[in-house]
Structure 1
Amino acid sequence: MTYLLLSILFSTSLFVIFKYFEVYKVNTLQAIVVNYIVAFVLGMFSANTFGKLATIPLQPWVYGAMFLGFLFIVIFFVMARTAQENGVSVASVAGKMSVVIPIIFGIVLYHESITPLKAFGIGIALIAVYLSSVKEEKEKANGGLLFPILLFLGSGIIDTTLKYVETNFVQVTDVAFFSGSLFGFAAIFGILILVGTQLVSRKKLSFKSVLGGIALGIPNYYSIVFLIKALQTKGVESSTLFTINNVGVVVVSTIVGLFLFKEEFSIKNKIGIALAIFGIILVTIA
């Protein structure tokens, strides 16, 4: 469970860093691309595998890493459009509720256990994610359902693919190499998109974006590494792990927002946090 707790903490730190991006007016797209480059370099350095870069196309997980890298970039833009078109709360709920997809795949594809207590705990956790994420917005969301649905499906596909590739192709000793490689593919796709947008907007790469990308890239890399290591822990089913991980991030992020950024929370949010803790306890016991 140590790896799972570390993954939750590093994932939560990403929300804190994004919050400071807003405060210091950091160009999010530029910082995101720099973040992937930093995560790639960190992964290769951690695994001491710069000399093995030429072997990436020969690795059994190369197509999985390429697909995940592409999804990282695409879902980021879908998340941004969802927030713009439908509102921040809709984007948050759609992204976090996607945990149901890897849970279902874990039960169906890997024949993971599903007891009444576990099913009840997962149900409570999903309700908790919604209640703790939804915010009272002043303006009505005018967007349609296309982007929220794409965000829901895309986020779920990322978690499910990560589990599938890790289970079938990634050796325990290759976690850092694999993680760095998928961030490398994300960086390549991101650079292509950034170059295209730069040609249109003519905005130069700012020093703040580089610093922000470095600050984001380090915890982003370790959040993935520790999640993969947690998935490789024997005796822990992915349906249980993804539930605890996703709900744990919601709980810790909410607590950080409350104390660090003095965010206001409704009665729904408070009930959601209480249910989240209850749901985690039920799933863990089950």
Structure 2
Amino acid sequence: MIYLLLSILSSTIIFVVFRLYKKFGVNTLQAIIVNYFVACTVGFFGYIDGSDFSHVPSENWFPGALMLGALFITVFNLAAITTQKSGLSVVAVATKMSVAIPVFCGIFLYNESTGILKIIGILLALVAVYLTSIKTKDGISIKAKNLIFPLLVFIGSGIIDTSLKYLETSYVSSTDVGLFSSTIFATAGSIGIMVLAFQALKGSLKITYKNILGGIALGIPNYYSIYFLVMALRSNGMESSTIFTINHVAIVTVSTLTGILIFKEKLIPKNWIGLALAVISIILVANSAI
């Protein structure tokens, strides 16, 4: 449970950092790319014994780590496009409701439990995520021609969580969690460098210190959000469908409350209903695991 709580805390800090980007005018793409290398460095120097990384490409989990790294930055760019075309609420809903994918995979592929409390809790969690994420009384509106982008964000985010569970279960040893996590971030960062190189060739690249600092501030909690999530999945106390549900809903809940307390955000009635349902869903899903 402690690893799950630490993952939720780390993800909430990520939310705060992203909010500060807007306040200080940080270039999100540049900061994200710097963040990947910072996260990779945290793993290499903090959680890996020895300095010989030559064996990494021969590890069974290496192809999966490369895939996840590519997905990380791809989903981020899709989320940015979705934000531009349909708004932040659509991205929030697509990202958080993607929890349905790893939850159902856990139930059907790993034969995890499906008690009545758990099923009700999962359904309430999905409703809670939607109600908490929307910021207008009319809900969300997506033009038909733009529907593909949030759909890809939904699928991509779900594949990331599902792949983490699969690789952790099948290939990653307890001593390789740090190296596995760092390899994911190194891959995403390397792809990001290619994006920046393309921008440089076009003459549109301008790197500033605040973008670098923003990446450092994001990279540390970002590494721990993945590291602690993988460690939580390795624990024997809860099934993956339970962990993913609690993790996603708790992040939405704590981030929303943080937004109220720190950034003085105003919530509409739907958001408050969503928060109440989120708390109920966490209680139901957690109790189903006892």
Range into which the TM-score falls when normalised by the shorter chain: over 0.9
Q: Which runs of 4+ in 1 moved over 3 A?
A: 137-143
Give the length in aligned residue pairs: 286
Query: In the alignment, what sits opposite 1:189?
Result: 191
The answer to whether residue 157 in structure 2 is matched with residue 155 in structure 1 is: yes
Give the letter for the 1:26 counterpart: V
Q: CA deviation at 1:177?
A: 1.1
Query: In the alignment, what sits opposite 1:15?
Result: 15
Contact 1:44 1:50 in 2 (8 A): no
Give the letter for the 1:82 counterpart: T
Give the fraction of aligned pairs with identical amino acids, expressed as a percent: 51
Give the letter for the 1:91 counterpart: V
Query: In the alignment, what sits opposite 1:80?
Result: 80
The CA deviation string for residues 157-213 of structure 1, in whole angstroms up to 9 with x for no partner, is 000001100110111111111111111111111111121123224322111111110
Pick which of 182-191 and 42-51 moved more.
42-51
Instruction: Output the CA distance in 2 between the equivalents of 1:258 and 1:50.
Output: 44
Counterparts in 2 of 1:48 and 1:64: CA distance versus 1, 3 Å: same
Equivalent runs, 1:74-113 vs 2, <5 Å:
74-113=74-113
Structure 2, unaligned runs of 5 or more: none
Instruction: Output the CA distance in 1 between the equivalents of 2:177 and 2:224.
Output: 11
Structure 1, unaligned runs of 5 or more: none
Instruction: Output the CA distance in 1 between the equivalents of 2:131 and 2:199.
Output: 36
Instruction: Output the CA distance in 2 between the equivalents of 1:108 and 1:48.
Output: 34
Q: CA deviation at 1:55?
A: 1.1
Instruction: Output the CA distance in 2 between the equivalents of 1:50 and 1:71.
Output: 28
Give the letter for the 2:111 counterpart: H
Q: CA deviation at 1:81?
A: 0.6
Give the letter for the 1:216 counterpart: L
The CA deviation string for residues 208-246 of structure 1, in whole angstroms up to 9 with x for no partner, is 111110110000001100000000001310000000000
Contact 1:257 1:263 in 2 (8 A): yes
Query: In the alignment, what sits opposite 2:246?
Result: 244
Instruction: Output the CA distance in 2 between the equivalents of 1:19 and 1:87.
Output: 15
Query: In the alignment, what sits opposite 2:126?
Result: 126
Instruction: Output the CA distance in 2 between the equivalents of 1:218 and 1:198.
Output: 27
Instruction: Output the CA distance in 1 between the equivalents of 2:157 and 2:131.
Output: 19
Contact 1:49 1:177 in 2 (8 A): no
Instruction: Output the CA distance in 1 between the equivalents of 2:172 and 2:278.
Output: 31
Query: In the alignment, what sits opposite 2:173?
Result: 171
Q: TM-score, normalised by structure 1?
A: 0.97
**Aligned equivalent of 1:274, options 273, 276, 282:** 276
Give the letter for the 2:161 counterpart: D
Q: CA deviation at 1:261?
A: 0.4
Pick which of 139-148 and 117-126 moved more.
139-148
Q: CA deviation at 1:49?
A: 4.8
Q: TM-score, normalised by structure 2?
A: 0.95
Give the letter for the 1:33 counterpart: I
Q: CA deviation at 1:284?
A: 0.7
Equivalent runs, 1:181-220 vs 2, <5 Å:
181-220=183-222
Query: In the alignment, what sits opposite 2:227?
Result: 225
Q: CA deviation at 1:50?
A: 6.3
Give the letter for the 1:80 counterpart: A
Does the residue aligned with 1:172 lie in a helix, a strand or coil? Answer: coil
Query: In the alignment, what sits opposite 1:66?
Result: 66
Give the letter for the 2:219 counterpart: G
How much is the aligned-residue C-alpha RMSD, in angstroms? 1.5
Does the residue aligned with 1:52 lie in a helix, a strand or coil? Answer: coil
The CA deviation string for residues 108-161 of structure 1, in whole angstroms up to 9 with x for no partner, is 111001011210111111111111111118996546211010010000000000
